[in-house]
């Protein structure tokens, strides 16, 4: 039995028996691992307040070859979840990103870039609530890091490059945009001009909200009330694209996403 030391983010926890806890950790060196914390529900010395969701911790654990669960020996807080746990919007947002990482990664696969990305997301979230742009940006960054990004630059069927005004057809089945010719023979949904391109802009950087994306999304110079409605409409179209892609292409339906829509996204 070997002792390992690592940095980890708490993705999931549940009680096991009267005093133990089952924990899923996203570690820096070993990727996602499942651990049992003996006495984790009662121990005041080793695990007091350390195994809470969204905490970044240093862990020491024992592992037996061929065993699924590692045995958590000690844990020490590096970055507590203070600033997240008392705000329902922040909890929903943090829950979405941790569940996304949990569901899209395999056990024991190291992902350095993803580990630091998730760590940065949680650290930033402690300071301020994420707006819709922040959520989409980081969602796309996680998908890009794992190689799961939908193809938003060229037709996923024929491979032809597409201009902004051509990007109106999206196929969840094929995992990206379709040109006009290919869309005539393949299942897809049609969206307003500029919507799909906006997702690409989200990937390049957060920035400030730009309500005047294209004339077809909304007209310049309209009232702030209509402007706000136009932005909500844009959000819903982007949500529809990503929901279809996630559920069909990645075969993932996140429970946390329903809470995110209820408490964070505009209705």
Q: What is the mean pLDDT of residues 156-180?
A: 95
Mean model confidence pLDDT for the chain: 86
What are 16's strand-pairing partners? Answer: 20
- Token pair in block for residue 255: 């429970």
Contact 59, 6 (CB under 8 A): yes
Question: What is the per-residue pLDDT across 68-127, written as a single tens digit (0 to 9) for each?
Answer: 899 999 999 999 999 998 899 999 999 999 999 999 999 999 999 999 999 999 999 999
Residue 236: per-residue pLDDT: 84
Q: Which domains, and CATH codes, for the chain? A: 2-81 (2.40.50.140), 152-249 (no CATH)
SS3 content of the chain, % helix, strand, coil (to 5): 35, 20, 40
Contact indicator for 35, 13 with CB cutoff of 8 Å: no
Question: Count of CB atoms within 10 A of residue 87's CB?
Answer: 15
Query: Does the pLDDT value for residue 219 go beyond 70?
Result: no
Closest CA to 78 of 8, 3, 30: 8
pLDDT at 266: 60
> CA 133 → CA 56, 129, 136, distances in Å?
25, 11, 5
pLDDT band at residue 132 under the 50/70/90 scheme: confident
State whether residue 169 is helix, strand or coil: strand
d(CA 55, CA 261): 24
Residues in the chain: 267
Q: Both tokens of residue 198? A: 């906006």
Q: Give yes or no for a contact between 79 and 8, defined as CB atoms under 8 angstroms apart.
A: no
pLDDT in tens, 19-56: 899 999 999 999 999 999 988 777 666 788 899 999 99
| Beta strand spans in the chain (E) | 2-16, 20-27, 31-37, 56-63, 70-79, 169-171, 176-178, 189-190
CB distance 232 to 224 below 8 Å: no
Place of tokens 């940095």: 7
CA distance 60 to 53: 18
Q: What is the pLDDT of residues 172-209, one digit of tens each?
A: 999 999 999 999 999 999 999 999 988 888 777 644 44
pLDDT score recorded for residue 221: 38
What does the block give as tokens for 262?
Answer: 């209820």
Q: Any residues with CB less than 8 A from the CB of 20 and at least 6 apart, and which?
A: 36, 37, 38, 39, 40, 41
Predicted pLDDT of residue 215? 37
Query: What mean pLDDT is predicted for residues 245-266?
Result: 86
Q: Is the dihedral of CA 156, 185, 236, 263 positive or negative?
A: negative
For residues 235 and 237, give the distance between their C-alpha atoms in angstroms, rounded to a whole number: 5
Kindly indicate the confidence band of residue 142, based on its pLDDT and cuts at 50, 70 and 90: very high
């Amino acid at each position: 039995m070997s002792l390992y030391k690592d940095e980890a983010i708490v993705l999931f926890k549940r009680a096991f028996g009267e005093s133990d806890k089952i924990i899923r950790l996203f570690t820096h060196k070993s990727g996602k691992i499942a651990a049992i914390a003996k006495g984790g529900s009662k121990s005041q010395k080793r695990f007091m307040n350390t195994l809470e969701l969204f905490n970044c911790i240093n862990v020491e654990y024992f592992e037996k070859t061929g065993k699924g669960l590692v045995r958590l020996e000690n844990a020490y807080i590096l970055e507590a979840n203070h600033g997240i746990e008392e705000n329902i919007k922040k909890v929903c947002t943090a829950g979405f990103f941790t569940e996304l990482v949990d569901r899209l990664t395999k056990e024991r696969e190291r992902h350095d870039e993803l580990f630091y990305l998730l760590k940065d997301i949680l650290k930033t979230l402690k300071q301020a609530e994420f707006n819709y742009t922040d959520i989409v940006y980081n969602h796309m960054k996680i998908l890009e890091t794992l190689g799961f990004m939908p193809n938003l630059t060229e037709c996923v069927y024929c491979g032809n490059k597409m201009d902004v005004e051509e990007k109106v057809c999206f196929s969840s089945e094929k995992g990206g945009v379709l040109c006009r010719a290919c869309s005539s023979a393949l299942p897809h949904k049609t969206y307003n001009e500029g919507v799909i391109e906006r997702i690409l802009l989200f990937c390049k950087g957060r920035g400030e909200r730009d309500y005047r994306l294209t004339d077809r999304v909304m007209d310049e110079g309209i009232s702030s009330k209509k402007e706000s409605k136009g932005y909500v409409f844009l959000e819903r179209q982007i949500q529809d694209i990503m929901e279809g892609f996630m559920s069909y292409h990645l075969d993932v339906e996140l429970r946390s996403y329903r809470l995110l829509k209820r408490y964070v996204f505009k209705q």
